[in-house]
Amino acid sequence: MTTLYEVHGSVALITLSNPPVNGLGHPTRLSLTRHLAQANEDDAVKSIVLTGAGKAFSGGADIKEFGSPLATQEPNLLSVIMAIENSPKPVVAAIHSVCMGGGLELALGCHYRMAAPGCSVALPEVKLGLVPGAGGTQRLPRALGVEPALNMIVSGEPVKSEMLAQIPGQKLFDKMASTAAALPDEALAFAQAIADTRPLPLVRDLPCKHRNGDAYFQFARNMVKGMAKNLPAPLKCVDAVEAATQQKFDEGMRIEREFFTNLMFTPESHALRHIFMAERAASKIPDVPADTPQRRMDSIAVIGAGTMGGGIAMNFLNAGIPVKMLEMKQEALDRGLATIRKNYESQVKKGKLKQDKYEQRLGLLSTTLSYDDLNDADMVIEAVFEEMGVKEKVFKELDRVMKPGAILASNTSTLDLNRIAAFTGRPQDVVGLHFFSPANIMKLLEVVRGDKTARDVMATVMAVAKKIRKTAVVSGVCDGFIGNRMIEQYGRQGGFLLDEGCTPAQVDKAIEKFGFAMGPFRMGDLAGNDIGWAIRKRRYQEKPDMKYSKTADLLCEKGRFGQKTGAGWYDYVAGKRDAIPNPEVVQMIEAHRASLGISPRKISDEEIVQRLVYSLVNEGAHILEEGIASKAGDIDMVYLMGYGFPIYRGGPMLYADRIGLFNVVQAMNRFAKNPLDDANFWKPAPLLARLAAEGKTFN
Ligand code: NAI
């Protein structure tokens, strides 16, 4: 049973019991309506309390039912709420811990609500590209007031129960429990006290008006339009709440339902739901069960206090885990420490970090020049120069000093992790933790699993990633891992587009219009064009047959490395990040094009987007087939969290699925015929060809 039933004196207590968050899946809804009927049939029962067992009142819909017919199977949530509203005996919701989505809508259907302090209350449907679908947009404004309700519905963000209870005139909570622990007893006493009160109050009967409705909703729409780029749901939230103020309750419910159903079929909602599931799925590794024992993680060491080392250290300090940083020279340590301090100070100045927290975090940081000081750390993360010789020295030292069982991690972005592991006598303890720059900000963490990495090491680092609030995605060992291996192909296409007739600004604009945070050339300027240059030089040796545009090399030969040198594909004014097109760069591209005997052609935005995105898709398909990524959703997460792929398109692999893999393959075949492109590359990856032929998808 997913609800429990007890009778305390004259009060029936129905407890949702569907761990972990009392999701309102079909079995729970069925069981709840049965227990409700039982309470109403029992003459000894005068009133009913509805609560949740464990760590939530209810977290809302059961995500396992997403997109399946079970989600709407009767009794659906609307019917359950109707049954509660129609209950002849009063129903009191006793709310604690978490009350979200369908859980809040359920509570709003009850006659009374009592909340414990500290409860997180939200209607997060908008984050899945939806409006609340079981009366949330109609009942919450009636219970809470139009403006606070709209804020909650449009943002999807949780608000604490005690904050909501302070809103003047609110009818969301009839009573606050004195403490969370006291809630069950106080709710039973309350239910007893109101047992005979009639008529039973219903939120649907409350008035819903705004004094300046027209002006307010206009203002709200303008705000939301600015923030909700390309996402339809937030504006629909405004429309639905406005309907609550203008229409009769039942008509408002009909409108909400219509919005909900239409949004469910939008590509944007599909993308957001895919991301929600993919993020959860990414944290699960097929052969590492959830109950795999984890190693201790009470202290960290970081080798190298440069760009990455400092940012990596901050992640752990922010999570309250002590960090010891090692460098070769005192000056390097001082520099690294100063950067960390400056970073935190700027957060304090902006009011994002309290002074005492700042001191606390710095207090957890210590430094050393001696490897022997690292022997008590549970994990060490190496972030030294990207050279195998340097890594070899460092890992041999770590093997010498680290205690048995310590995890030895490398932040390498290109080097072979298996070789690094082989420098030690304990390759099972070696793992890659590929952070992205700036490491204290970027959400993505590629966890690189070596051939010999132990399962408990994987389980431990995945848990650590969660602790430091990263989205971790597992990658096998290959050059560039998932993200950079794909971006190399995307960059190559960018180069060919320049050779054939585009300017950097045209390419960037087209892909930014598609939704990318930044086009390939602005991104190159941000990351430093010298990084790609170094990689290409290596490639020219390793893969002499691989075709490259030479424009990026010409740019680097001029010292135009990007923002750090004030000049790259664009010009930059000191202290600003605006990319200003540079006529000399355009001339350089034209001259190079002429030297190749290419007459430029006008290339459409559509072709630019297709070539850039499908290059990711094709390389992604190879990565999937080789088992470097274990699922397509993992590749999508890498691109969404680390490379600015538009959220509302759900990642490159989901996007390809939507376009239809058959159509993607057709386009690739077309590109392969372009003599200035790389026909070899556009040969669809075998997995892609197979799925396209079978009419299947990646996800
Ligand atoms: P960096 O040059 O800013 O910092 C490297 C630091 O390591 C320097 O402070 C240097 O003094 C120190 N160091 C060098 N050899 C050492 C040794 N034997 N013992 C102790 N300290 C030593 O380099 P960055 O950018 O921080 O890169 C570090 C690692 O992170 C590289 O493997 C790189 O590929 C990787 N990475 C870099 C990213 C980036 O965007 N910069 C992104 C992801 C990974």
Q: What average pLDDT does range 202-221 have in this prediction?
A: 96
Model pLDDT, residue 228: 84
What's the mean pLDDT when you consider all of the chain?
96
Task: Enter the CATH code of domain 3-264.
Answer: 3.90.226.10
Instruction: Kindly give the distance from the C-alpha atom of residue 10 to the centroid of ligand 1, in angstroms, as a whole number.
Output: 69
Instruction: Kindly give the distance from the C-alpha atom of residue 339 to the centroid of ligand 1, in angstroms, as a whole number.
Output: 14
**Would you identify the CATH topology of the domain 300-475?**
Rossmann fold (3.40.50)
Confidence of residue 65 (pLDDT cuts 50, 70, 90): confident
565, two tokens: 């040198």
- From 65, 74, 125, 626, the catalytic residue: 125
pLDDT in tens, 138-192: 999 999 999 999 999 999 999 999 999 999 999 999 999 999 999 999 999 999 9
Ligand 1 shell residues, CB under 6 Å = 303-309, 326-328, 332, 383-386, 390, 393-394, 411-413, 434-437
Confidence of residue 577 (pLDDT cuts 50, 70, 90): confident
In the predicted structure, residue 66 carries a pLDDT above the cut 80: no
Q: Whose CA is nearest to atom 31 of ligand 1?
A: 386
Q: Respond yes or no: is residue 74 known to be catalytic.
A: no
41, two tokens: 């049939």
In the predicted structure, residue 63 carries a pLDDT above the cut 80: no
The helix/strand/coil state of 121 is strand
Model pLDDT, residue 685: 98
13, two tokens: 């207590």
Q: What average pLDDT does range 48-53 have in this prediction?
A: 98
Return d(Cα 306, Cα 156) in angstroms, integer. 38
Model pLDDT, residue 198: 97
Residues in the chain: 699
Model pLDDT, residue 229: 78
Among 337, 380, 384, residue to substitute to test ligand 1 (most atoms within 8 Å of Cβ): 384
**Cα separations in angstroms, 468 against 159, 163, 305, 484, 504:** 23, 28, 19, 23, 36
Domain-by-domain residue ranges, the chain?
3-264, 300-475, 483-694
Model pLDDT, residue 204: 98
Among 302, 303, 307, residue to substitute to test ligand 1 (most atoms within 8 Å of Cβ): 307
Query: In whole angstroms, how large is the CA radius of gyration of the chain?
Result: 29
305 CA closest ligand 1 atom index: 9
Model pLDDT, residue 230: 87
125, two tokens: 């449907």
Model pLDDT, residue 64: 78
Residues 6+ apart with CB under 8 A from 150: 141, 220, 237, 238, 241
Model pLDDT, residue 112: 98
Say if CB 261 and CB 129 are below 8 A apart. no
- Helix (H) or strand (E) holding 443, with range, is none
394 CA closest ligand 1 atom index: 18
Confidence of residue 227 (pLDDT cuts 50, 70, 90): confident
Return d(Cα 349, Cα 338) in angstroms, integer. 16
Instruction: Kindly give the distance from the C-alpha atom of residue 394 to the centroid of ligand 1, in angstroms, as a whole number.
Output: 12
Instruction: Kindly give the distance from the C-alpha atom of residue 85 to the centroid of ligand 1, in angstroms, as a whole number.
Output: 62
Among 325, 333, 340, 413, residue to substitute to test ligand 1 (most atoms within 8 Å of Cβ): 413
Q: Whose CA is nearest to atom 12 of ligand 1?
A: 304
pLDDT in tens, 382-426: 999 999 999 999 999 999 999 999 999 999 998 999 999 999 999
Q: Whose CA is nearest to atom 4 of ligand 1?
A: 306
Residues 6+ apart with CB under 8 A from 163: none
Among 302, 325, 380, 385, residue to substitute to test ligand 1 (most atoms within 8 Å of Cβ): 385
Say if CB 418 and CB 450 are below 8 A apart. yes
Model pLDDT, residue 483: 97
Q: Whose CA is nearest to atom 39 of ligand 1?
A: 437
Task: Enter the CATH code of domain 483-694.
Answer: 1.10.1040.50
Q: What average pLDDT does range 82-93 have in this prediction?
A: 98
In the predicted structure, residue 576 carries a pLDDT above the cut 90: no
Confidence of residue 71 (pLDDT cuts 50, 70, 90): confident
Q: What average pLDDT does range 513-531 have in this prediction?
A: 94
Residues 6+ apart with CB under 8 A from 259: 131, 236, 239, 240
Cα dihedral: 563, 567, 568, 572 (round 10)? 60
For residue 83, give the nearest of 132, 34, 17 by alpha carbon.
34
Instruction: Report the sign of the C-alpha dihedral through residues 608, 610, 613, 615, in that order.
Output: negative
Instruction: Kindly give the distance from the C-alpha atom of residue 471 to the centroid of ligand 1, in angstroms, as a whole number.
Output: 22
High-pLDDT (> 70) share of the chain, %: 100
Instruction: Kindly give the distance from the C-alpha atom of residue 309 to the centroid of ligand 1, in angstroms, as a whole number.
Output: 7
Q: Whose CA is nearest to atom 25 of ligand 1?
A: 307
In the predicted structure, residue 1 carries a pLDDT above the cut 90: no
Q: Whose CA is nearest to atom 9 of ligand 1?
A: 306
Q: What average pLDDT does range 513-529 have in this prediction?
A: 95
Which residue is associated with the tokens 């599931």?
277
Model pLDDT, residue 3: 98
Instruction: Kindly give the distance from the C-alpha atom of residue 23 to the centroid of ligand 1, in angstroms, as a whole number.
Output: 45
Confidence of residue 450 (pLDDT cuts 50, 70, 90): very high
The helix/strand/coil state of 599 is coil
The DSSP secondary-structure symbol of 195 reads T
390 CA closest ligand 1 atom index: 18
Q: Respond yes or no: is residue 105 known to be catalytic.
A: yes
- From 6, 41, 85, 105, the catalytic residue: 105
The DSSP secondary-structure symbol of 217 reads H
Return d(Cα 441, Cα 310) in angstroms, integer. 12
Among 303, 308, 324, residue to substitute to test ligand 1 (most atoms within 8 Å of Cβ): 308
Instruction: Kindly give the distance from the C-alpha atom of residue 379 to the centroid of ligand 1, in angstroms, as a whole number.
Output: 18
Residue scoring higher pLDDT (175 or 538): 175
Give the pTM.
0.91
Model pLDDT, residue 62: 87
Model pLDDT, residue 524: 95
528 CA closest ligand 1 atom index: 40
For residue 131, give the nearest of 142, 123, 120 by alpha carbon.
123
Instruction: Kindly give the distance from the C-alpha atom of residue 412 to the centroid of ligand 1, in angstroms, as a whole number.
Output: 9
Helical residues (DSSP H) of 179-321, grouped into ranges? 183-193, 213-227, 233-246, 249-264, 267-282, 307-318
335 CA closest ligand 1 atom index: 9
Confidence of residue 68 (pLDDT cuts 50, 70, 90): confident
336 CA closest ligand 1 atom index: 9
Burial of 154 (0-12, 13-18, 19+ CB in 10 A): buried
- Helix (H) or strand (E) holding 410, with range, is strand 407-410
Instruction: Kindly give the distance from the C-alpha atom of residue 315 to the centroid of ligand 1, in angstroms, as a whole number.
Output: 16
